Amino acid sequence: MHRTIVLSLGLVLSAHRLPGQAPSPPPITGRWDLTLIASDGRRLPSWLEVYWSGDRVLIGRFVGVVGSARPISRLTFTHDTLRFSLPPQWEGGDADLQVTGLFAGDTLAGSLTMPDGKQLALSGHRAPALVRAGAPQWGPSQKLFDGTDLTGWHPLGGENQWKAVAGVLTNARGGANLVTDATYGDFKLHLEFRYPPTGNSGVYLRGRYEAQIEDSAGHEVSTGGLGAIYGFLMPNENAAKGAGEWQTYDITLVGRTVTVTLNGRDVICRTTIPGITGGAPGSLVLPLLHEIFPTGPFWTFVVWTLMAIAGTLVVWPLYWVRRRYGLFHLTLAAGIPAFVLAAVDGNLSVVFIAAVTAFIIHARVSKKPDGSKLVDLSLGVLGLWVSMFVGMAIRFW
């Protein structure tokens, strides 16, 4: 006798919106590299991520001047203006931190009001994906510390406390950060370190992403403990040794994909770092025009105009030397302002304005070899395209 088992299959229909009915995410969604301009002209790296929750609410994450990524429960985006507020984290003051930014293509421009009421100018552009096409080809290894002095390094911010003592790079108390003179793109880093009880330090990869160093033995893993990329990536186990013991980091960074090996154990494996760590030194550049002129839309326009005119005046004598028009002159005249403006503000809207300015200057001011005026729009169009090409090349390089 066989026992028969009857299975009853129920059909469940789920009501979902058709694709054509679902609202499209606003164009502000994505990751943004931000720069905050302090009252003394310092450029402070910051970061923002905006994404769609459900079908009508924007939420996100934000990294300020210091601290870790903090969640944003709601952002508003109306009339191309983004607004959100957050309770204070490490900032002084008790009010909410408030951000307002005007969206234009791949750029943001606005202000950040700190909890203590201080206001910082804000600019931003979409964070590059940094996706590599293939496996990197590694070159020969370089020794970063020679064991005798700080050759190849320089302090940044605060009083320098770093010294070479008996072949060990030593910091007895808090002070300046120590930065390599050279810059590195993709790399493998081997680091040996030790710290006292309750010690807290870190290594900023490319000056942006902090591999945390902290006395973490016996603690629960977190995004703030040893082995973490601070504020973002948590190690999969606590591989920390005790305070006073020598430990090792082996870190591979390709694009924004990182592998962290702590004391021989892979604690983070080929994981993308979403954004920067608060307090990141950022790129080291020469003093920029923001340190000379006040910030704000009016002064930004003044800076754009002056630099475009200056770029043309620099090469104006070439017209008299060559006594004829040539692509060489035009490349310099259009490329110099685009180069400078791309370096100063780092976004495509500035490059476009430089290109338009080059068009206006070359179309209306150019002269023939005999000194008579020449209103030649074709020369202006060529200036526009050359300026945009040079500026965009610098922007993405």
Residue by residue, pLDDT tens for the chain (397 residues) are 444 333 333 334 444 444 556 678 899 999 999 999 888 888 889 999 999 998 889 999 999 988 889 999 999 999 999 999 999 988 889 999 999 999 988 899 999 999 999 999 999 999 988 888 888 889 899 999 999 999 988 888 888 889 999 999 998 788 888 888 888 889 999 999 999 998 899 999 998 999 999 999 999 999 999 999 999 999 999 999 999 999 999 999 999 999 999 999 999 999 999 999 887 775 322 223 333 334 444 544 555 555 555 545 544 444 443 444 454 555 555 555 555 554 444 444 555 555 565 555 555 445 556 665 555 555 555 555 555 555 555 444 4
Distance CA 74, CA 145 (A): 46
Distance CA 369, CA 371 (A): 5
Asked whether 89 and 46 are in contact (CB, 8 A), the reply is no
SS3 of the chain: CCCCCCCCCCCCCCCCCCCCCCCCCCCCCEEEEEEEECCCCCEEEEEEEEEEECCCEEEEEEECCCCCCEEEEEEEEECCEEEEEECCCCCCCCCCEEEEEEEECCEEEEEEECCCCCEEEEEEEECCCCCCCCCCCCCCCCCCCCCCCCCCEEEECCCCCEEEECCEEEECCCCCEEEECCCCCCEEEEEEECCCCCCEEEEEECCCEEEEEECCCCCCCCCCCCCCECCCECCCCCCCCCCCCCEEEEEEEECCEEEEEECCEEEEEEEECCCCCCCCCCCCCCCCHHHCCCCCHHHHHHHHHHHHHHHHHHHHHHHHHHCCCCHHHHHHHHHHHHHHHHHHHCCHHHHHHHHHHHHHHHHHHCECCCCCECCCHHHHHHHHHHHHHHHHHHHHC
User: Given this model, what pLDDT does residue 285 score?
Assistant: 25
* 297-322 vs 348-365: helix crossing angle, rounded to 10: 40
Asked whether 288 and 300 are in contact (CB, 8 A), the reply is no
Q: Is the pTM of this model over 0.85?
A: no
Cβ atoms < 10 Å from Cβ of 100: 17
Structure tokens at 357: 């300015």
Asked whether 373 and 363 are in contact (CB, 8 A), the reply is no
User: Given this model, what pLDDT does residue 182 score?
Assistant: 85
What backbone phi and psi angles, to 5 degrees, belong to 35?
-130, 125
Distance CA 103, CA 86 (A): 20
